[in-house]
Amino acid sequence: MSKEVRMSCRRTHRILVAMLALAVVFAFAACQKLSIKNLQGNYHFNKANQLFKKSKFSPAIVEYELALKYNPTLVQAHRFLGESYKSRFIPGKDTPDNMALAEKCLAALNKAYEIDPNNKDIIYSLGDIYDKMRNFDEAEKMYLKIVELEPGNMNNYYVVAGLYKRYTSEKPELKKKTIDMYLRRIETDPENVQGYAYMYNYYDELPVGDNKDKFDRAYYYEQKRLMIEPNSAEMYYTIGVNRFNKAYQLQNFLSQVERETLAAESEKNLFKAIELDPAYPEPYSYVKILYINVHAVLYPEKESRYKAEADRYGEKYTDAKKRQTDRLKLEKELKKTT
C-alpha cells in the first residue's frame, strides 16, 4: 500500500471516528424505552465503537454483530459494521476472501440505507465502496442521490466530478460529464472563487496530447476568478505560470510572435504578483524559469542578459523562501507557547 493511500486511509478513519462519536449520542438519545435487549445491544455497540476508534476492525465486527443481534434497528451499528468491513477491504485485489469483505460491507450498508434512506453519510459510504469495487454505475447512482438531497452543498459536486474524472480513461464520454458537474457547481454559486479554481485545475492537469487547448481553457477560468479577487498575488502568479507553460510546452506548434506574446503576458503577471506580495517566493522562481527557457530562446541576442537576470531572480526566490520558512517556524513555535 502506497504512502498516499495510507495517509488517505488515516484521514478517512479520523473522520469516521468523529462521526462515530455523534452516532453514539443519537443512538442512545433515541432509546426512550430501554428493554433488556436494547441495553445489551447498546453495550455491545459501545464496545464496538471503542474498538473501531483503535482501528481494531475484526473484533469491532464481532461486537457490532452482537449489538445487532440484540437490537437490529441500530442504524449506526449497521453502518459502522459496513465501515469495519470496508476498512479491511483492499481495492483491486480480487481474491475470494477480499471480495467477501466487500459483499459483507455492502450488506451492512444497504441495511443501514434501508432503515435511513436519506442519510447522506450512509449514501456516501455506499458510493465509496462501489467505487472501490470499480462498480461505476452504482457509485454514480449513490453520489448523484447526495446531490439531489443537498443541491446547495458545493462539495457534493466535487465528489461526483471526481468520480467521473477517475473513470475517464475507461469511459471517454465521462470527460463531458466531469466538466458539466464542475459547471453545475459554478452555476450554483457563481461568486465563489473555489468553483473556478477547480475548473482551472481540471484543465491544467490534463495531459497535453490531444488537449492543446487546455492552457487557454484553464486561463479562461483563472481570469473569471481574478475578476472576483482582483488583488490576489496567487491569481496573477497562476496566470503567469499558465502563459509560460503554453509558450514552453507548445513551442513546436506556435509561431515566434505567439510565443513572444505569451512570454510578455507571463512576465507581466508574474511581476504583478511580486508587486502585490513581495514576500511571496514562487513568482521569483518562475521569472527565473521564464527567462532561461523562453526569453533566452526567443531573443538569442539577449541570452546572456536574460540568464543574468534569471540568476538574480533565483537569489530573490531563495531569500524570500528562507524568510517564509523562518516565519512559519516562528508561528509554529508561538502556537506551542499559547
Distances, alpha carbon 209 to alpha carbons 205, 206, 212, 216, 219, in Å:
12, 9, 7, 15, 18
Contacts of 185 (CB under 8 A, 6+ apart): 154, 157, 158, 161, 195, 198
Which range, 2-11, 33-42, 294-303, is most confident?
294-303
The band of 77, judged by pLDDT with boundaries at 50, 70 and 90, is very high
The 10s digit of each residue's pLDDT in 179-223 is 999 999 999 999 999 999 999 999 999 999 889 999 999 999 999
The 10s digit of each residue's pLDDT in 240-295 is 999 999 999 999 999 999 999 999 999 999 999 999 999 999 999 999 999 999 99
Question: What per-residue confidence (pLDDT) applies to 26?
Answer: 44
Question: What per-residue confidence (pLDDT) applies to 290?
Answer: 98
**Is pLDDT above 60 for 3?**
no
- Segment 132-142 mean pLDDT: 97
Which domains can be identified in the chain, with CATH numbers? 224-338 (1.25.40)
- Segment 79-93 mean pLDDT: 96
Q: pTM of the full predicted structure?
A: 0.79
Give 129: exposed, middle or buried? Use CB within 10 Å, 0-12, 13-18, 19+: buried
